[in-house]
Amino acid sequence: MNALAPRLDAARAEAPVGTPGGAPAVSLAAQVAADFPILTRRVRDKRLVYLDNAATTHKPEAVIEAERAFYRESNANIHRGVHWLSQHATDLYEGARERVQRFLNAARSEEIVFTRGTTEAINLVAWSWGRANLKPGDEILVTGMEHHSNIVPWQPVCEQTGAVLKAVPLTDRGELEPGAFEAMLGPRTRLAAIVHVSNALGTVNPVAAMIERAHAAGARVLVDGAQAVAHQAVDVQALGCDFYAFSGHELCGPTGIGALYARHELLAAMPPWQGGGDMIRTVSFEGSTWADPPARFEAGTPNIAGGVGLAAAIDYVTGIGLPRIAAHEHALLEYATEAALRIPGLRLIGTAPGKTGILSFMVEGIHPHDLGTILDAEGVAIRAGHHCAMPVMTRFGIPGTARASLAIYNDERDIDALMAAIRGAQRMFGTGARP
Ligand code: PMP
């Protein structure tokens, strides 16, 4: 314990995560665990310890039931239907849009475009706004910790328009290099596309300040909120961002549904990026005219049941309260960080102050994939690899990490099981012995 103390102190100074004196993390988890039916299932004859929440969270009964009830009682295609059921389904879907609007505090519901998720929302901005607004020599500024979905869509658009993609470098703790974002913003920057919370590192970026600086430089700002919305309240008007993207499935909602928030005057000036039913005003063989937003950006039959499920997920998390969720996850992250640092040979990747419930790490002598497989045999589900953030791995000179990511239903027992399984893997590999 004595030998460990200086290491823990140093790490705490490096990574002051968590809510000091926060309530025991077990309390909220104990209250909500029964809401998630999947948590009772056994995996490999063990209790399921699910620590892969940054990939997708589990769904509470309220969400599962909302989708089921939609198909059982309200199913019809939406918009333009003259019959009762179609109008009823339309009301539910448009009601879900209003729920997303209130959740993000958007000024009006027409500023919410339903998408398949964050990836599709960013692609929409890239292919519609990007192609219409970018010129040769223009710059798109991203950060070094972006998910691939906020890198890759820009690359073909850059190729087509002659714009250039630039990335703000990271420090050893996994934060943006101080001053680099401001220094890299210039008269050619047309868009800053920045992740709110990194899925690979847990770093929370100071997006409000970044948006202000980017606007002062004349750039638009897109925020990737995939990892943010389930863990903190987001107010797009207070942030002042131009675009905000998120996925339902990382918010206890269904897969295949998410949303793009975009300021109305931007949406109104943007061309469609996909053609089909529902997005037009008139169609002839000579040409077509477009519906107003958001319909202009929602070609084809949408994920209606998914929208209804997303609304139920928003009700669920806001019913618990995002500040309560954040306090729970921070307290649990602090517990997990201390436990992790007691394991010899374990190196944390991403130690930014105030980070969210993501513990990315390497264990000396064990490849992250091997570690993931060994943990799985114990019923402990983590993720191993580059987490769709290869440039982060390149920055740290590693092939990938093992990543445990937390949600409301996790508790100290889950962390204890994780740490015991890591120590078991070390015994198997003959590593981890103290010198
Ligand atoms: N950005 C971040 C930060 C993410 O974590 C993810 C997914 N985990 C995405 C974007 C992409 O989200 P989706 O796959 O739901 O479109």
> Is 388 a known active-site residue?
yes
Cα 72 to averaged position of ligand 1 atoms, centre (Å):
30
pLDDT at residue 13, rounded to an integer: 40
Cα 78 to averaged position of ligand 1 atoms, centre (Å):
28
| Closest atom of ligand 1 relative to the 224 alpha carbon | 1
| Closest atom of ligand 1 relative to the 250 alpha carbon | 15
- Residue 332 tokens read as 């649990």
Q: What phi and psi, each to the nearest 5 degrees, are found at residue 200? A: -95, -30
Mean pLDDT of the region 41-55: 96
> Which residues are CB-contacts of 228 (< 8 A; sequence separation ≥ 6)?
196, 197, 204, 234, 246
Nearest to 257 by CA among 297, 302, 224: 302
Span of 24-33, 145-154, 299-308, 333-342 with lowest mean pLDDT: 24-33
> Contact 30/412 with Cβ under 8 angstroms?
no
One-letter amino acid for residue 225 of the chain:
G
pLDDT at residue 16, rounded to an integer: 34
Pocket test for ligand 1, best of 56, 195, 247, 310 (most atoms within 8 A of CB): 247
Q: What angle do CA 123, 127, 131 make, to 5 degrees?
A: 145
CA distances from 47 to 257, 267, 379, 417 (A): 30, 47, 6, 10
The residue count of the chain comes to 435
pLDDT at residue 139, rounded to an integer: 98
| Closest atom of ligand 1 relative to the 55 alpha carbon | 8
Pocket of ligand 1 (CB under 6 A): 54-55, 117-119, 147, 149, 195, 199, 224, 226-227, 247
* Spatial separation of the C-alpha atoms in residues 295 and 304, rounded to whole Å: 14
Percent residues over pLDDT 90 in the chain: 92
> Residue holding tokens 């053609």?
275
> Residue holding tokens 């943007």?
270
| DSSP states along 59-121 | --HHHHHHHHHIIIII----SS--SHHHHHHHHHHHHHHHHHHHHHT-S-GGGEEEESSHHHH
241-296 pLDDT tens trace: 999 999 999 999 999 999 999 999 999 999 999 999 999 999 999 999 999 999 99
Q: Which of 158, 241, 252, 388 is catalytic?
A: 388
* Spatial separation of the C-alpha atoms in residues 233 and 246, rounded to whole Å: 13
132-186 pLDDT tens trace: 999 999 999 999 999 999 999 999 999 999 999 999 999 999 999 999 999 999 9
Average pLDDT, the chain: 94
333-375 pLDDT tens trace: 999 999 999 999 999 999 999 999 999 999 999 999 999 999 9
> Contact 252/317 with Cβ under 8 angstroms?
yes
Reported confidence tier of residue 434, pLDDT bands at 50, 70, 90: low
Cα 242 to averaged position of ligand 1 atoms, centre (Å):
19
